[in-house]
Amino acid sequence: MLSWVDLSDSDAGGAPAFAEDEWLIEAYYKVQVTPFVSVQPDLQFFVNPGGDNTVDDAWVGSIRLVVSF
């Protein structure tokens, strides 16, 4: 998945906010371990998190375990 957020160049009062666009790239895959159990790893990469170019880009990872009864 690719996500793009176009942030305003000014804050609510009209003053410059120095915001940058935020980008998110996400990849995931579902592995069916058994007929009722699956595992889904997920990896995300944020560019300009929150639109603030002074904040470092960020990696986020997670694992989802699904058990169906």
| Cβ pair 30, 40 in contact under 8 A | yes
- Statement: the pTM of the whole predicted model exceeds 0.95: no
Listing DSSP states for 4-54 in one string gives: EE---SB-TTS-B-----EEEEEEE--EEEETTEEEEEEEEEEESGGG-TT
What pLDDT does residue 51 have? 82
What pLDDT does residue 41 have? 97
pLDDT in tens, 18-62: 567 889 999 999 999 999 999 999 999 999 888 888 889 999 999
Query: Residue type for 13, please?
Result: G
Of 2-6, 8-12, 15-19, the range with the lowest mean pLDDT is 15-19
pLDDT band at 13 (very low <50, low <70, confident <90, very high): low
| Cβ pair 25, 42 in contact under 8 A | no
Q: Which DSSP state fits 1?
A: -
